[in-house]
Amino acid sequence: MTDAPQTGPAQTGRIAILGLGYVGLPLALALARAGFDVLGLDTDPDMVAALSAGHDPNGEVADASLAHTTARFSADAADLKGARNFIIAVPTPITDAKTPDLGPVLGACATIAPHLTDGALVVLESTVYPGVTEEVCGPALAAGSGLAVGTQIKLGYSPERVNPGDAEHSMENVVKIIAAQDAETLDRLDVIYGPVVKAGLHRASSIATAEAAKVIENTQRDLNIALVNEFALIFNRLGLDTLEVLEAAGTKWNFLPFRPGLVGGHCIGVDPYYLTYKAQQVGYHPEVILAGRRINDHMGAHVAQTLIKSMLGRGHRVQGARVLIMGYTFKENCADTRNTRVADIVAELQDYSVQVDVHEPWVDADVMRARHGIDTVAAPEQGAYDAVIVAVGHREFVELGADGIRGFGKPGALVYDIKGVFGRTGSDLRL
């Protein structure tokens, strides 16, 4: 049995979105604005309470948007009853062994399975390796519901492409890939996503194709950054300024404008491991992808070691020195600290018996303490530090300017501008 053709929000039935983070919440609000009946479910009751009160703790969605939404938020799986469409937008992290951790995805499948009915649609948005939707999620949903996948349960895949903290490349403004088990189900995805994605939809030929497309998007970016990071490692030894070299090379029409930096977050630093895992499962050992990962994972330690060498070269005492790190999120102007590589800088400096203070205006102090065991400083002390590392290019730091940043340091303190925000003359060190 299948649903009758769907022509709009009224005919689509309730949409349940599992996961109300940077992906799920904007999607829930967008679908609600388009007239769909939307329920957002999250396992974090504090998150749900905050959203229900009209505030997004992640800062991705304005309070005004929450105040006027018709979407409902819940932490109780019982509220899934009556939903006909389920969108899974949960994290897909990696294990300590750098292999895929599908626990959140399988947990979401287990949560919705008892509430599936004949004709239900389940769409996965999380980044996975090719085959997960049909070969992992499908059997899990069938086992938990007693329904047959492909006839009674329809599967779809539509990977998220949002860029946290970037209003220009929001969900509405980026072409969205959709894929499904059959043409009829693909049409159902079109009905759901079409009204909210202004940039349009791309219909992939298969779910596995869409899964592969998503996982290589961030893998390609990871490798490009790894290349310029390796340039930085080489030029550091040659006494050359990497950004000046890149500026000169960038005068050629086909030179790609990538810059060195820390590669963290929930996507770029994680997704390549999903692809390499699947490659190894089919007997191929990736070389280039893993080499890029090793380079990028090393950059935090490189920053710390470069700072230590520079301090010693200037006659600074390292043991007991005070270093201020400005920013802890994985990128500028967002509150997301998942897989942040700034943590590597902190750990490496502490191994040298350096006293590290972290100033992070985008993340609540209680959250930093609970998630990372770090007591942040709300207002760095003027003239107190032996070195200052600008690790994240938050707008607050840019507005301070080079002189404002240097004011936190003692006379002769080093300023390390990882992001190259202030130009060569505005800092002592940069990647």
Whether the per-residue pLDDT at 170 is higher than 80: the answer is no
Relative orientation angle of helices 103-112 and 138-145, to the nearest 10 degrees: 30
- Distance (Å, rounded) from C-alpha 339 to C-alpha 359? 18
Query: Model confidence over 261-301: pLDDT tens digits?
Result: 999 888 888 999 999 999 999 999 999 999 999 999 999 99
- Distance (Å, rounded) from C-alpha 243 to C-alpha 281? 39
Main-chain dihedrals φ then ψ at residue 304, nearest 5 degrees: -60, -45
SS3 324: strand
Taking the CB of residue 176, how many other CB atoms lie within 10 A of it?
A: 20
pLDDT reported for residue 107 = 97
Q: Label residue 1 by pLDDT band (50, 70, 90).
A: very low
Amino acid letter, residue 194: G
Which listed residue (109, 137, 267, 334) is catalytic? 267
**pTM of the predicted protein model:** 0.91
Range 389-413 burial, b when 16+ CB lie within 10 A, else e: bbbbbbebbbebebeebbebbeeeb
Amino acid letter, residue 246: L
- Distance (Å, rounded) from C-alpha 347 to C-alpha 360? 17
Main-chain dihedrals φ then ψ at residue 419, nearest 5 degrees: -85, -5
Sign of the Cα pseudo-torsion (136, 140, 146, 147, in order): negative
> Contact, 89 vs 43, CB < 8 A?
no
pLDDT reported for residue 267 = 85
Q: For 375, left (φ over 0), alpha (ψ -120 to 50), or beta?
A: beta
Span of 7-11, 82-86, 189-193, 200-204 with lowest mean pLDDT: 7-11
Rounded to 5°, the CA angle 391-99-358 comes to 20
Span of 173-177, 210-214, 353-357 with lowest mean pLDDT: 173-177
- Distance (Å, rounded) from C-alpha 200 to C-alpha 177? 9
Whether the per-residue pLDDT at 171 is higher than 80: the answer is no
**Can you say how many angstroms the Cα of residue 306 is from the centroid of all Cα atoms in its chain?**
27
Whether the per-residue pLDDT at 254 is higher than 90: the answer is yes
pLDDT reported for residue 2 = 44
pLDDT reported for residue 161 = 83
Tell me the domains of the chain and their CATH numbers.
9-207 (3.40.50.720), 240-426 (3.40.50.720)
Across 33-42, average pLDDT:
96
Sign of the Cα pseudo-torsion (220, 371, 22, 169, in order): negative
Query: 267 catalytic, yes or no?
Result: yes
Query: Model confidence over 221-237: pLDDT tens digits?
Result: 999 999 999 999 999 99
Across 199-204, average pLDDT:
96
Query: Model confidence over 41-89: pLDDT tens digits?
Result: 999 999 999 999 999 988 888 899 899 899 999 999 999 999 999 999 9
> Contact, 362 vs 333, CB < 8 A?
yes
Share of the chain above pLDDT 70, in %: 97
Whether the per-residue pLDDT at 5 is higher than 60: the answer is no
Whether the per-residue pLDDT at 339 is higher than 50: the answer is yes
